[in-house]
Structure 1
Amino acid sequence: MSARAEVAVREQAVLGEGPTWDAEARRLIWVDILSSRVHTYDPSTGRRTVMVTGQHVGAAKPRAGGGLVVVLRDGIGLHDADGAFSWLVHDPVPGRRGNDAAVAPDGALWSGTMRYDEAEGGGSLSRTAPDGTVTLVPERVTISNGTGWSPDGRLMYYIDTPTRRVDVFDVDGERVLNRRTLATVEQGAGWPDGLTVDADGCVWVALWDGAAVRRYTPDGRLDRTVELPVRRPTACAFGGSGLRDLYISTARTGLDAPHPLSGSLLVLPDAGHGTPGTPFAG
């Protein structure tokens, strides 16, 4: 694998987040939360697009029938393939916005929220079915972040950033049970943010303020650390040919003197082997 990150898209995103490989369109989707933008990037041609949303956008994922599902400040919206927009879930709460999200193997959307002031316990994690039915996970959450599943779909990994933990749940149909700790990021190493799971069942975690991504084995052992030139990586996902390249979103928000690449989309070529994602079934 490459031990050095390269630039996939040079950008000055304020809060780049949520890279996701869209297998049907053969492109990467990622967002700039605070600039209310959804970006796409085709690594084979270099073609890019940018869509401006009406409000802060925490995540954007492909839909099975084309278009995107987007996690916005005031709920979850649907963009059809022709660009038409509709609300699937409209639930505005003053001072709160949507944050990271992921699509489960069954096609449901798991999405999180957080308060702008990052107040303790002010966030949430919920499952949204394709018909818009929302099931709230009864767990205390502050800054809901990375979510992903083991290759066999029996485990769900989850990060609530201030806990410093990567947690794991057992999956029982539409429910998650038996929350426990897989790994803890020590003081001084940054904060766990977004995650992805590779074909070996290992969990890759972006470390906000840690200038690195880490790979943890299924038993929680730290297996690999890749240092990055930017201080605030936010999330990672495998994409490209054979799902072998690890794409990493980054942020420049809150930095007095950000690195010139802060806010860009980075890539670790041939970093491993990802698993095919599932588009949202709604």
Structure 2
Amino acid sequence: MTPAWEVAVRERAELGEGPTWDAASGRLIWVDILSARVHTYAPSTGRRTVMATEQHVGAAKPRAGGGLVVNLRDGVGLYDAEGAFSWLVHAPVPGRRGNDAAVAPDGALWAGTMRYDEREAGGSLSRIAPDGTVTVVPDAVTVGNGTGWSPDGRLMYYIDTPTRRIDVFDVDGERVVNRRPFVTVEPGSGWPDGLTVDADGCVWVAFWDGAAVRRYTPDGRPDRVVDLPVRRPTACAFGGPGLRDLYISTARTGQDAPHPLAGSLLVLPDAGHGLPGTAFAG
């Protein structure tokens, strides 16, 4: 049987993460956290770029004026369109690094952090305004991970991986309130990691150690499983023409004998219909 997935970019990323479609440039952006690299891929031409960062990089997202906002070990930084770097938020915490992040419909960055030793409650979830103002969500976080919004912007989905839950908040202006479980994952199916939301309001989740991406309907019902050849998919995002192709980042780290495609960027063509992204407004 021919698999549904294809290889978009064959790579040996240690910890590939955070695929994001940049509509302005027609390319996909993703990171290799532990190798401190930001990758891009233009599916229309096959062109790739790789940029080194000075620190481990948990996420890289496009900026409205060009360049990137990056969630680094010691805070959130900015690259301008010419590649010059500056700190937006420099707040190092020993033993902690930036992890996954996402840009909200209002142009703010929601950034997760975690401790390298994954100590319980050692991470955070924060809203980073375009001017650098930081608002920390008070809830305890261990591994701040996938974040996304419903099509109407009224709900924010969020994963703190060790909880084995996909949670949902109500969006109240610049705040999120009323956190509650959306899906509780059964042991044995892997750990929920990165997520994306499609135009129908369905939530797609990559499962670390689960070798799959799973889709949940807006009422939390599982309705699709995409089995993958790699044990550690990390995140997913729609991109390409019409935002119909689902790109999936993967990791090699922590495996004695990783699959030959572990660390590559995979794609599920014509998987659905994604939501247009928002560039960081800072």
Q: Please state which band the TM-score falls in when normalised by the shorter chain.
A: over 0.9
The 8 Å contact of residues 3 and 226 in structure 1, kept in 2 or not, is answered as: no
Q: How does 1:73-88 map to 2 (within 5 A)?
A: 73-88=73-88
Cα offset for 1:278? Answer: 0.1
**Structure 2 residue 10 is matched with structure 1 residue 18:** no
1:86-105 correspondence runs (5 A) = 86-105=86-105
Equivalent-residue separation in structure 1 for 2:144 and 2:75 (angstroms): 15
Which residue type is aligned with residue 179 of structure 1?
Answer: R
Tell whether the 8 Å contact from 1:96 to 1:116 is kept in structure 2 after alignment: yes
Paired amino acid for 1:4: A
State how far apart, in whole Å, the 1-side matches of 2:28 and 2:54 are: 21
SS in 2 for 1:242: helix
Unaligned runs of 5+ in 1: none
TM-score scaled to structure 1, two decimals?
Answer: 0.99
Matched pairs, number: 281
Aligned-pair identity in percent equals 85
Distance in 2 between the 1:258 and 1:184 partners?
28
Q: Which residue of 2 aligns with 1:51?
A: 51
| SS at 2:7 equivalent | strand
Cα RMSD after superposing both structures: 0.7
| Aligned counterparts of 2:3 and 2:135: Cα–Cα separation in 1 | 41
Amino acid at match of 2:242: G
Please name the residue that 1:228 is paired with.
228
State the AA in 2 paired with 1:125. L
Q: Once the two structures are superposed, what CA deviation does each residue of 1:7-60 show, in whole Å capped at 9, x if it has no partner?
A: 000000000000000000000000000000000000000000000000100000
CA deviation string 1:167-195 (max 9, x = no partner)? 00000000001111111111000000000
Counterpart in 2 of 1:189? 189
In structure 2, the gaps of 5 or more residues are none
SS of 2:275's equivalent in the other structure is: coil
* Cα shift readout 1:124-178 (whole Å, capped 9, x = no counterpart): 0000000000000010000000000000000000000000000000000000011
The answer (yes or no) to whether the contact 1:192–1:208 under 8 Å persists in 2 is yes
Matches of 1:170 and 1:90, distance apart in 2: 29
Matched, 1:106 2:106: yes
Pairwise CA distance, 1:79: 0.1
Residue deviations 1:96-118, cap 9 Å, x none?
00000000000000000000000
Give a deviation string over 1:245-271, Cα, whole Å, max 9, x none: 000000000000000000000000000
Which runs of 4 or more aligned residues in structure 1 lie more than 4 Å from their structure 2 counterparts after TM superposition? none
Deviation track 1:189-220 (CA, whole Å, cap 9, x = no partner) reads 00000000000000000000000000001100
Q: Secondary structure at 1:34's aligned position in 2?
A: coil
Q: Distance in 2 between matches of 1:67 and 1:92?
A: 23
**Superposition map of 1:1-282 within 5 A:** 4-282=4-282
**Matches of 1:19 and 1:97, distance apart in 2:** 19
Determine if contact 1:252/1:258 at 8 Å carries over to the other structure.
yes
Q: Give the drift of 1:3.
A: 5.7
SS at 1:35 equivalent: coil
TM-score, length-scaled by structure 2: 0.99
Distance 1:203 1:184 in 2: 13
